[in-house]
Amino acid sequence: MAETVELDDVLGGERLADPYPYFARMLEEHPVYWNQRYRAWFLHKHEDVLWALRHPGFSSDRVRPVYETHLSPEKRAEREPTFDVLRHWMVFLDPPEHTRLRKLVTPAFSPKRVAAWRPRVEQVVKETLAALEGTTRFDFIADFAYPIPAIVVAELIGVPAADRDMFKKWSDDILTLVFGAQGEPGRREKAQQGLIELTDYLADLITRIRREPGDDVISSLVTADEVDPPLDDREIISTCALLVFGGHETTTNLIANGTRQLMRHPRQWQLLRDEPERVNTAVEELLRFDGPSRLEQRLMAEDVELRGATLRKGDSVFLVQSAANRDPDVFDRPHALDITRVRNNHVGFGFGVHHCLGNFLARLEAQVAFPAVIGAMPDLEPDGTEEWHTTMMSRGMKTMPVRRGAAV
């Protein structure tokens, strides 16, 4: 019993900052594991995670069933503002509803469209670094990893970049609910208030954009006429809220986690400094080695047999990307950071119909950011203990203190 309790504590002790020894054990001893604490199955093997991401029995429609069947009438009334937004998020929908919404925003995040944003991303990174010139100590999250994707996604979507501080607060509030924060009192109330404030803001913005549409995602949504049925206002507002939230959160974590690992692996840092042309494979390796997504959640839509276990309809399932990306059956030297790694079929951005919509944009921003940081701050080093978000699904830090040390 003691061992079960210890194994069930996914975020306990040192596992929040460094979950990989724990995941290595689970890969070897419990590839498919029923976690009593979370009342959910955990899949750790790369093969199983990839299979589940493609299997229709692993449903993304997990918000509606909880709201409609697991809550009392009083709780449903209390949480209705939250559900009214999240029920339209495409990440919580299965086809065909998911397909209908994703079809409208996919063109804005296509490889060709994203590539055209490179000059602007390079400018934003340059300006962000310039603002830090002469600064010895700073918080890498607040001063670098967050502003870059926040500015870029705001401009792409059609939101004034000057309002990004408000988005940061709202996103932090929403994150505690969407990504499964543990031990945070009042998180549901805080998240709901953040959602209400964000959607009110977006409703006003959409009204203004309808009068004067431009070349941005919100304009394309409010003028779209190729979907049947057409999007209503709640769907437009909710989709924009998802893009504002998801458009910077993942990239912030990718840039911060990646820089942290490069600092902890000075040979890899130096290699990327000497050979910045390796940045594309470096980004893929950092996504594998310590990516921004710890796991994805699904709800079983049917009974499925896997490795002797029966995952029953209605069971909750966590697909552990952080474990799958270090599966020794798939990756040579899985616990070694190697930015020269070429064969790298990680699942850091998921797979299948729910493959991360903004993956090309996140990759571009990271490809620009890493060499720029290393070039401008070759002596960057940690300056204290990071503070991590206590969330199940995302892997990211609240703060990451750094300083410029002895010149390299």
User: What is the reported pTM?
Assistant: 0.92
Q: What mean pLDDT do residues 28-34 have?
A: 97
- Contact in structure between 243 and 105 (CB atoms under 8 Å): yes
Q: Please give the helix or strand (H or E) that residue 127 lies within, else none.
A: helix 118-131
- Report whether pLDDT(164) > 90: no
Q: What angle do CA 194, 297, 46 make, to 5 degrees?
A: 140
Q: Are strands 309-311 and 296-300 parallel, antiparallel or unpaired?
A: unpaired
pLDDT score of 362: 94
- Give the pLDDT band of residue 180 (cuts 50, 70, 90): low
3-state class percentages of the chain: helix first, strand second, coil last, to nearest 5: 55, 10, 30
Q: What whole-number percentage of the chain has pLDDT above 70?
A: 94
pLDDT score of 406: 54
Q: What mean pLDDT do residues 320-327 have?
A: 98
For the record, the structure tokens of 368 come out as: 């620009």
Q: What is the total count of domains within the chain?
A: 1
pLDDT score of 321: 97
More confident residue, 80 or 15: 15
- Domain extent for 137: 2-404
Model confidence pLDDT, tens digit, residues 240-257:
888 877 778 899 999 999
- Give the pLDDT band of residue 21 (cuts 50, 70, 90): very high
- Report whether pLDDT(150) > 80: yes
- Report whether pLDDT(407) > 50: no
Cα 173 to Cα 167: distance, rounded to the nearest angstrom: 10
Domain of residue 291, CATH code: 1.10.630.10
Model confidence pLDDT, tens digit, residues 95-145:
888 888 888 888 888 999 999 999 999 999 999 999 999 999 999 999 999
Write phi, then psi, for 401 (nearest 5 degrees).
-70, 130
More confident residue, 8 or 160: 8
Q: What mean pLDDT do residues 187-200 have?
A: 82
Cα 141 to Cα 397: distance, rounded to the nearest angstrom: 8
